[in-house]
Amino acid sequence: MSIKISFKKSKLERTSANLVLFVDERFDIKPIKKYISSLEYSYISDLLKTSDLKKKLLVFNLTSKKKIVLVSIKKNIKNSEIENLGAELYGIINPGKNSEYFINTENTINNKNFIGYFLHGLKLKSYEFKKYKSKKETRLITIKVLGRKNNLSSLDQIKFKALEQGTFYARDLVSEPGNVLHPDEYAKRIKSLKKYGLKINIYDQKKLKRLGMNALLGVGQGSIRGSYLVTLEWKGTRNSSRPLAFIGKGVCFDTGGYSLKPAKFMEDMTYDMAGSAAVVGLMKNLALRKAKINAVGVVGLVENMVSGNAQRPGDIVKSYSGKTIEILNTDAEGRLVLADAITFTEKKFKPKFMIDLATLTGAIIVSLGSEYAGLFSNDDKLSNELIKAGEKVEEKLWRMPLHKNFDKLINSKNADMQNINYVGGAGSTTAAQFLQRFILNKTPWAHLDIAGMAFSKYGGALNSGGATGYGVRLLNQLIEDYYE
């Protein structure tokens, strides 16, 4: 079922309309009296006496057709809490037929973007991926915003919309199955983002070979599809300041290669390109809202397959950095793709910082579950900014350690390093240590291991299950708060 939500500014047209009305923490309904009849007023007053006022949303079914939803808002409510209320409202109004709701704008405490955040939360929660259902049902939920006060400026509207479209684009990419979104198709889709003003460069196998990106190429060599490195550039300022760089793991499907994964849940590995999807979604968002910064997205697109030509355990490859890698486990492929992408990004763009996102290790799910992404960084300032931005949009990060003693664990007898460690545990950290070896010029860098965050089986506050789009809102907030 697909749902369309349209927001319109309006007057209350008729007394039979559904209402969403904001009240204070004590559910004082006097200030909203003008929207309801005196009969409704006394009916609700009565019911409120026995209602659980700790709940933030109370629903009153006045007739079989008319609902009044009271939403209580506390003083100093945070933007993310407002978003969550909007998402909660979606849960209430979702089951049902076409419907129309009027929403008031008073009592929304001097937050000029209150309605914006509220509807943003509702919108994010309403996303569903139903492309491959033959039966398509469309249902229309219309939300009409009453009154003039507190309405969004057009600039803020553009920002919310861009962020929704960026997030949904990332979710769409992650939701696509491996047979559809293979590297060839993925590269094509990214190319189509040119129309938003992004400069797209596609490096195909031939070019990558010439550049010497053998770590990336080795992962994709067993696939009948191509391997790619794609760059997306956004120039939002006239000056030539160093860009912010975002790098994403785009493993369109990860079988593990010859270090084959077990059958059960291998299907989940269609989301092994979620890091790259967050980067692509972020870049789309920046272009749509014409962000006043220079930024570059770099994604490595490959498919980790088994075939007569696939990489073997024990193979040694020479990376773009010149460093050699002994492949002890073909399932530790994400770090190989990122290694070349990181060195390339640093050399080509000389960025202010590099942030990479990757569904890199199962071990990070053991440590942090689906609550926090793992953050590894060589820079305290960047780390703190990321953590703060993450708290604001509830895409949380937990900083994990890097240390030379972990780094030692990936030294190899036969090459400069090996792609896994057999002793010492700390699987997420040794993966991060591996990545750090490919920064050659001390550029501030952060690695976000999002294996536990990219996909949600049961849904979260702002998603209804499936791809979350984790990272798009986080990095947008980082840029807005510290770099724009």
For ligand BES, the binding residues (CB under 6 A) are 254, 272, 329, 331-334, 359-363, 420, 427, 451
Which does residue 410 bind out of ligand BES, Zn ion, Mn ion, none, counting CB within 5 to 8 angstroms by kind?
Answer: none
The separation between CA 45 and the C-alpha centre of its own chain, rounded to angstroms, equals 42
Contacting Zn ion within 270-289 (CB under 5 A): 272
Q: Between residues 72 and 430, which has the closer beta carbon with respect to Zn ion? A: 430
Selection from ligand BES, Mn ion, Zn ion, none that 451 binds (CB < 5 to 8 A by kind) is: ligand BES
315 near Mn ion (CB under 5 A) = no
Q: Pick the catalytic residue: 123, 225, 335, 473?
A: 335
Per-residue contact string for residues 226-265; x = within reach of Mn ion by CB under 5 A: ----------------------------x-----------
Q: Exactly one of 261, 348, 392, 399 is catalytic; name it.
A: 261
Measured from the CB atom, is 39 or 263 closer to Zn ion? 263
The encoded tokens of residue 90 equal 């979606």
Is 222 an interacting residue with respect to Zn ion (CB under 5 A)?
no
Q: Which stretch binds Zn ion (CB under 5 A): 81-89, 143-151, 268-276, 413-421?
A: 268-276
Q: Minimum Å distance from CB 272 to ligand BES?
A: 4
Question: Minimum distance between the CB of residue 367 and Zn ion, rounded to whole angstroms?
Answer: 17
Per-residue contact flags (x/-) with Zn ion for residues 224 to 253, judged by CB under 5 A: ---------------------------x--
Is residue 11 annotated as part of the catalytic site, yes or no? no
Establish if 395 lies at the interface with Zn ion (CB under 5 A). Answer: no
Contact 261, 255 (CB under 8 A): yes
Number of neighbours of residue 47 by Cβ within 10 angstroms: 11
Beta strands at 397-399 and 373-377: parallel, antiparallel or unpaired: parallel
Minimum distance from CB of 230 to ligand BES (Å)? 20
Interface region with Mn ion, contact rule CB under 5 A, candidates 61-69, 332-340, 413-421, 448-456: 332-340
CB of 305 to Mn ion, least distance (A): 12
Task: Round to whole Å and give the CA distance between 227 and 209.
Answer: 10
We find the least distance from the C-beta atom of residue 412 to ligand BES, in angstroms, to be 14
> Known catalytic residue: 171?
no
CA distance 410 to 412: 6
Per CB under 5 A, 331 contacts Mn ion: yes
The stretch near Mn ion (CB under 5 A) out of 44-52, 90-98, 323-331, 388-396 is 323-331
Residue 427's contacts (CB-CB under 8 Å, 6 or more residues apart) are: 361, 362, 363, 421
Q: How far is the CB of 429 from ligand BES (least distance, A)?
A: 12
**Binding of Zn ion by 254 (CB under 5 A):** yes
The catalytic residue positions are 261, 335
